[in-house]
Structure 1
């Protein structure tokens, strides 16, 4: 199953993607659908009307208002090597706020206060049922589906202090979506190809099978700290190829388009505009 959240008439609405159409569901967004009960899959599969052509869809952030956005850092050996950090013994985690989220085809407004806006393709995980003190198997059972996240980062703000949230959660900077794809369609995203390109130049290319801490371990670890609830979003980390690690560094500029794709999950295309 493939779900999405669209903008319609100044509001948002969840939908199920099927046969080139988005079948509209009676929920404001995918997060509200997931929170509607353990039978959300059955609810999402019910025949409803109307529908809109997929080609005309205006994609909102997949889960516009998650209770939590958990991000994982330094989770690919290639990225650890390019930034010169030791291999972590434990997960590196930080948070974002929902105001940072944008849709899969929305513009990225480059903030005037940053001169170092960078890209990070990441596998996104959306939680479908409450999970606390889980082992890895129980953790995977709590996954509603997978999506694409680009953890667009303002490096000059991120590196101001040892606590780098301030460079990670600028308002309207993080594309999420366009789809939630259920685990059965992508084998729990165990081996999906990932790319991130600026215009036509591929900057990052890797596979989700390169994660140091895989999805089940990530969810289990976080669930030992706090309860994860339906609609929560986890970004699992980025591979090598970030702009800040290049010599000389390369960052996003107005007029460029950031293109992010994960096989089986779709793609994003976000035009960069001056703020």
Structure 2
């Protein structure tokens, strides 16, 4: 199932994507009431398998046509972050071999973890203001893994069973701020630095998260093009490793690293960082394309 977070008047609503259309679940429930159907993404994630089955069964009974008041076009939707309220956003640094190569870094022996906060979340087609404190804003396409069950001390063999779904994300990075100190947090946590979406694609639709193509375009110029098979630490290794140190909760987001092709990987004389007016699209096979336009901070 492919779901999304629709925002209207400051409220989050659950959408289900079917054949290029979006079923607005709250509007559908007004037309065709049914108990136990989740009304937003957080309810869907925290409801576990029963919420998944309830939503799937409900949508299958609906009439899906443009004439229905609960069926809306994607172009008419305002998207919020695909996962709106995680308790944690955990990121993995230097997790692609060719990205480590391009930056001259050694391959890490264990996952390099850092965190971001909810202020960094935004959605598809949202404008993002470039903070005045940076002139080195970089893009990073990343596979986002979304946890669906509480996970503590899980094995690698079982780790993917705790995943509710996957999404496309852009781990925006202000390199000048990131490199000011040994801690990367400052350059990673400015407002809207973690756009994610447009969709949360449930795990049953992704056969192998280690075989997905990734791509970034800046103003339609391809900058990153790789595959999750180049990860140093796989999704299951990352989930298991994190869970041995602290508990993962339903809705937690793990950003699994970026491949080669970032601005930082270029020779210094060739680096052209993002500027107001640039449009960046990050895309992952099976998960969809996430687009944001960058504007000047006022």
Indicate the TM-score class for this superposition, using the shorter chain for normalisation: over 0.9
- Could you tell me which of 17, 30, 35 is aligned with 2:46? 35
Root mean square deviation of aligned Cα: 1.5
- Could you tell me which of 258, 261, 274 is aligned with 2:280? 258
Structure 1 residue 259, shift from structure 2 partner? 1.1
Structure 1 residue 209, shift from structure 2 partner? 1.1
After superposition, the C-alpha distances for 1:168-224 in whole angstroms (9 at most, x for unaligned) are: 111122210111112222213221110111102111110011111111010000111
Structure 1 residue 10, shift from structure 2 partner? 2.7
For 2:24, the equivalent position in structure 1 comes to 24
- Residue 99 of structure 2 contacts residue 265 of structure 2 at CA under 8 Å; is this kept in 1? no
- The gaps in structure 2 that reach 5 residues or longer are 27-37, 63-69
* TM-score computed with the length of structure 1 as normaliser: 0.96
- Residue 29 of structure 1 contacts residue 62 of structure 1 at CA under 8 Å; is this kept in 2? no
For 2:8, the equivalent position in structure 1 comes to 8
- Residue 120 of structure 2 contacts residue 192 of structure 2 at CA under 8 Å; is this kept in 1? yes
| In structure 2, C-alpha distance between the alignment counterparts of 1:186 and 1:95, rounded to whole Å | 25
Larger Rg: 2
Instruction: State the number of aligned residues.
Output: 275
- Residue 147 of structure 1 contacts residue 176 of structure 1 at CA under 8 Å; is this kept in 2? yes
Structure 1 segment 136-155 matched on structure 2, within 5 A: 136-155=156-175
* TM-score computed with the length of structure 2 as normaliser: 0.88
Structure 1 segment 225-264 matched on structure 2, within 5 A: 225-247=245-267, 248=269, 249-264=271-286
For 1:72, the equivalent position in structure 2 comes to 92
Structure 1 residue 54, shift from structure 2 partner? 2.5
Structure 1 residue 66, shift from structure 2 partner? 0.4
Matched, 1:267 2:278: no
After superposition, the C-alpha distances for 1:232-256 in whole angstroms (9 at most, x for unaligned) are: 1010000111112212222001111
- The gaps in structure 1 that reach 5 residues or longer are none
